[in-house]
């Protein structure tokens, strides 16, 4: 069974540009969540999607957005990039909320903003 | 809001020895889950072990076991017979129970403990 797949793995963008990251969850998983990992702030929750609906959003500015498609694949978008957006962006999937279903992570997308 | 604290930024252990990583958390919830994730240099987050708060018995997975003290809000990870492949960043994480279809389904992480296993 394939794991959580994230693309691209590495990318470099310029300040002011926008970026889209993609995530394919484990087959059968309908909940997809995104986390940002930086040396200073650690791992922070961005948002969670289930059945194409955003159910929860972390404390990030509106420049960070996402969506989920009918096949559960998800994308996140960051507009007007800032240097501080440089981070590892981790996508995670699980069956769904309830009973503490295990959340599985992808290998992440490394974003560098210059 | 929940918080997770890992007080040991770095630890080291000799191969084959035992090491314990500390984690404390703060919550007003009664029903929740606790996890230890491992992040090796590849940066893939790998689940090591999980604990349901309503279970008194400590979880065990091969060489990994936890000491869950609900009243003290403590959740430490013990690694026995440490191996070189255990070298990684270890994150303690909290998740409140969310009913099926509910929102607020997320992990709250500690800052991590970098564990180095020396040969």
> pLDDT digits over A66-109, tens only?
999 999 999 999 999 999 999 999 999 988 765 567 889 999 99
Among candidates A90, A97, A107 on the partner chain, residue whose Cβ is nearest the Cβ of B105: A97
Query: Best of A100, A102, A109, A111 to disrupt the B interface by mutation (most B CBs within 10 Å)?
Result: A100
Partner B, chain A 49-88, Cβ-Cβ below 8 Å: 50, 55-56, 58, 88
Confidence of residue B104 (pLDDT cuts 50, 70, 90): low
Confidence of residue B96 (pLDDT cuts 50, 70, 90): confident
- d(C-alpha A32, C-alpha A29), whole Å: 8
Among candidates A33, A58, A96 on the partner chain, residue whose Cβ is nearest the Cβ of B100: A96
Residue B100 has pLDDT above 70, yes or no: no
Q: Is A35 on the interface with B (CB under 8 A)?
A: yes
The predicted structure's pLDDT at residue A99: 58
Sort out which chain B residues have CB atoms less than 8 A from A43's CB and list them.
91, 107, 109
- d(C-alpha A19, C-alpha A9), whole Å: 13
What's the burial of A107, exposed, middle or buried (CB within 10 Å: 0-12/13-18/19+)? middle
For B1, how many CA atoms within 13 A lie in the half-sphere containing its CB? 6
Q: Is A39 on the interface with B (CB under 8 A)?
A: no
In this structure, the number of other CB atoms found within 10 A of the CB of residue B36 comes to 26
Sort out which chain B residues have CB atoms less than 8 A from A108's CB and list them.
43-44
Confidence of residue B4 (pLDDT cuts 50, 70, 90): very high
Sort out which chain A residues have CB atoms less than 8 A from B98's CB and list them.
97-98
């Amino acid at each position: 069974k394939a794991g959580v797949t994230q693309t691209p793995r590495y990318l470099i963008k310029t300040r002011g540009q926008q970026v889209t990251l993609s995530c394919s969850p484990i087959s059968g998983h309908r909940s997809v969540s995104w986390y940002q990992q930086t040396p200073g702030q650690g791992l922070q929750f961005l948002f969670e999607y289930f059945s194409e609906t955003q159910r929860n959003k972390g404390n990030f500015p509106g420049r960070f957005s996402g969506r989920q498609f009918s096949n559960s694949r998800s994308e996140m978008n960051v507009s007007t990039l800032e240097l501080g957006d440089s981070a590892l962006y981790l996508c995670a999937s699980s069956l769904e909320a309830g009973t503490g279903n295990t959340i599985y992570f992808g290998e992440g997308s490394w974003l560098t903003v210059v | 809001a929940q918080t997770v604290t890992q007080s040991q930024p770095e630890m080291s252990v000799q191969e084959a020895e035992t090491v314990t990583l500390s984690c404390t958390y703060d919550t007003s919830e009664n029903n929740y889950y606790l996890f230890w994730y491992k992040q090796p240099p590849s940066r893939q987050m790998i689940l090591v072990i999980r604990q349901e708060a309503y279970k008194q018995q400590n979880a065990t997975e091969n060489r990994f076991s936890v000491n869950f003290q609900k009243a003290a809000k403590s959740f430490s990870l013990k690694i026995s017979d440490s191996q070189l492949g255990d070298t990684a960043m270890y994150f303690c994480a909290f998740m409140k129970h969310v009913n099926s279809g509910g929102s607020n389904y997320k992990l709250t992480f500690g800052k991590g403990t970098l564990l180095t296993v020396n040969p």
